[in-house]
Structure 1
Amino acid sequence: MAFLMTVKEAVLRPISLSTIPRRNLQWILYSAVNKIDKERIKIIGPDLACAEWLVKCGASVKFHGKSKTIEDYNLIGATVGPEAKLAEVYAEEATIMSTGFLHFENVKEVQKLRFKSCGLFDDGCISELVRHCNKSIKDIAIENCDVTNRGLQLIPSFECLQRLTLIDLPSVKNVDTVYEDLCKALPGCNICLTSGGISRRSFPDDA
């Protein structure tokens, strides 16, 4: 299928954009911005490279020791040095997809993540986060994203998780059962799950 061609092929092949279905063209563009640049990672390090990818996709980031979030790609290098460590990620309507989450490899100190209305955020994204950041993430929120029960089953693999917020996940079924399973698997974690007209939380509203 046409949308599976590589970005390089799409650039080199003389095609008319009007002949490509809009959804397929978007997929090509999203795949390009999520592509791993190994040389860039070697030059500036995994944390800055991960931050650059996130900001290019429309997210904002915060580094340890810095009070302000960064949402301008050009400010990353000007604001922090090469030894800076990524601390927090805020992604709303960002075009992040699972292939891009390979950027989190060797990002060791990220602690807080927010994903809201990211149409390409799915179970694969959670899988990559578990693979690379399961020992550092303490607080994660996922709202209105394409996550299923299978993805939520991976959440307990975050070894240091203290707070989990899940809101409006239309692909998640049996919300009460999911909530109970998460509470059993994460007894020390504050959990809020609101979806499908059901709202459950393991901590007071003012906690």
Structure 2
Amino acid sequence: MRTHILFRRYGSYAPSHNCYNYVHYYDYQDHGYVTRTTTYYDSMNLMYSYPYQQLQLSQGTPIHKAQNLKLGPTAPRHSKPLLELCPQHFYLSCRSFWGVTVAFNQVDEERVKLAGPDRAAAEWVLRNEGSIKWTTSPAHLNDYNMLPRSDFEEYKLEEIDLSNTKVIDLGFEHLKNLKHLRKVKLYKCVSIMDDALKNLQHVKDTLENLEIIDCPMITEAGLTHLIKLRNLKVLILSALEAVPDLNKSVNRLKSSMPWCHIVQTSDVGDLKT
């Protein structure tokens, strides 16, 4: 039989310019497990979930010590480091639950109304560790804390780079009502599927440059959604594991999209984008 004792700890954390409030939830189980989840509320009252963490302690670890485990940067300063508590008998594993991924990708309609679609989309990209480019600047931005603090309506997204991020199809709903987006880069996006490409139709009137490289869950059916991108000028495709014959798929797209220059990565050296 397991007993569960739930502890709540409140505090604050200030990375760079943003100040976060947080709540720790500790669930102590008498089989020697301590679990923690954390919810962040930033200065604009946006909610983020921190990945679930699980810790196995040595047998008989006192509950009061379980309360003081230092599992991350948000732990209070007086907390003792984990290694001081039980240096020989523990393992720490972090797991990102599906719910956390959804929270980082789901559209917040109230936020869209408050800050506008471009700002909301920029926050989505940077929250997932991608980068963006505004129409007003030649530089790319990859730091969430450097987003403008006011005059949101003056900043319009021109490019987004989701390379090496864990975005999912749901996040591409952020592309709705973007009127200036010209370029999207999808490189090593291991979690996106065909619906992500379907959602690119939200920017079919402006999107000119698209890269889809090493995205293992994109299929041939997903590539057919690209035919509706009537203003696309450059399409780069490569290393799509779920597409049985990429050469054949590229040839089909070329026949269906004569307005677009479609290449595979081996040809990119001669391409100026």
Normalised by the shorter chain, which TM-score bucket?
Answer: 0.7 to 0.9
Count of residue correspondences: 188
Question: Which of 247, 266, 269 is residue 176 of structure 1 equivalent to?
Answer: 247
Aligned equivalents of 2:271, 2:174: Cα separation in 1: 35
Please say if 1:205 is aligned against 2:266: no
Which piece of structure 1 moves more, 79-88 or 89-98?
79-88
| CA deviations over 1:155-186 (Å, ceiling 9, x no partner) | 11101010000111100112232111111111
Q: Give 3-state SS (helix, strand or coil) of 1:50's partner.
A: helix
Amino acid at match of 1:106: N
Amino acid at match of 2:172: F
**RMSD, aligned α-carbons:** 2.6
Structure number with the higher strand fraction is 2
* 2:210 match: 140
Percent identity (aligned):
27
Matches within 5 A, 1:148-167: 148-167=219-238
| CA deviations over 1:64-123 (Å, ceiling 9, x no partner) | 121111111121124974222110011111121111111111111101011111111221
- 1:206–1:126 Cα change, 3 Å: closer
Q: Give 3-state SS (helix, strand or coil) of 2:210's partner.
A: strand
- TM-score (norm: length of structure 2): 0.63
| CA deviations over 1:39-71 (Å, ceiling 9, x no partner) | 111111000110011110111000112111111
- 1:184–1:80 Cα change, 3 Å: farther
Structure 2: tracts of 5 or more residues without a match: 1-23, 29-34, 36-52, 56-92
Question: Which of 77, 91, 106 is residue 162 of structure 2 equivalent to?
Answer: 91
Structure number with the higher helix fraction is 1
Question: Which of 124, 134, 138 is residue 195 of structure 2 equivalent to?
Answer: 124
Higher RCO (CA < 8 A, seq sep 6+): 1
Amino acid at match of 2:270: D
1:136 is displaced (CA, Å) by 0.9
- 1:50–1:204 Cα change, 3 Å: closer
Structure number with larger C-alpha Rg: 2
Aligned equivalents of 2:271, 2:113: Cα separation in 1: 44
- TM-score (norm: length of structure 1): 0.81
Q: Give 3-state SS (helix, strand or coil) of 1:142's partner.
A: strand
Aligned equivalents of 1:166, 1:67: Cα separation in 2: 25
* 2:128 match: 57
* 1:82 match: 153
- 1:154–1:206 Cα change, 3 Å: closer
Contact 2:116 2:152 in 1 (8 A): no
* 1:4 match: none
Question: Which of 175, 181, 186 is residue 257 of structure 2 equivalent to?
Answer: 186
* 2:84 match: none
Matches within 5 A, 1:95-114: 95-114=166-185
Aligned equivalents of 2:247, 2:238: Cα separation in 1: 13
